[in-house]
Amino acid sequence: MSSRYKLVFFVPVAATDAVLNHLFSRYPTALGKIGNYQHCAFVTRGTGQFRPCDGANPTIGTVDTLEHVGEDRVEIVVNDGGDQADLKGAIRELKQIHPYEEVAYDVYKLEGF
């Protein structure tokens, strides 16, 4: 039985389009497809903060310095065939294409009403 999830992740503003386009091209029927619409996403702009610790290799910022970065919160629907293969594949792909060493993301299971 198929399942639907919402994948939420945070990405630097300059990388949002590239990350979304890559994910949509790799999973055209599983990601961002709602009814007769494709590439659906909700993007909210905000500011992320982090302090890289010893051993980190930050894309932005320096070790032991608090950093503030303009980021987008991206929300997309994942239509999974039921075995979570599309969901897990999309997360793997996100981790590979995302510019950060550590990707902040959440997954929510959606209920059908």
pLDDT digits (tens, 9 = 90+) for 96-105: 999 999 999 9
Q: Among candidates 40, 37, 36, 35, which has minimal Cα distance to 23?
A: 40
Model confidence band, residue 91 (pLDDT cutoffs 50, 70, 90): very high
| Alpha-carbon gap, residue 95 to 63, rounded angstroms | 21
Q: Among candidates 79, 83, 85, 92, which has minimal Cα distance to 22?
A: 92
Domain ranges in the chain are: 3-110
Assess whether pLDDT exceeds 80 at residue 113: no
CATH of 3-110, picked from 3.30.70.120, 3.30.565.10, 1.25.40.10, 1.10.3720.10, is 3.30.70.120
Assess whether pLDDT exceeds 80 at residue 67: yes
| Alpha-carbon gap, residue 112 to 41, rounded angstroms | 19
Cβ–Cβ under 8 Å, residues 7 and 107: yes
Average pLDDT taken over every residue of the chain: 96
**pLDDT attached to residue 103:** 97
| Alpha-carbon gap, residue 70 to 5, rounded angstroms | 26
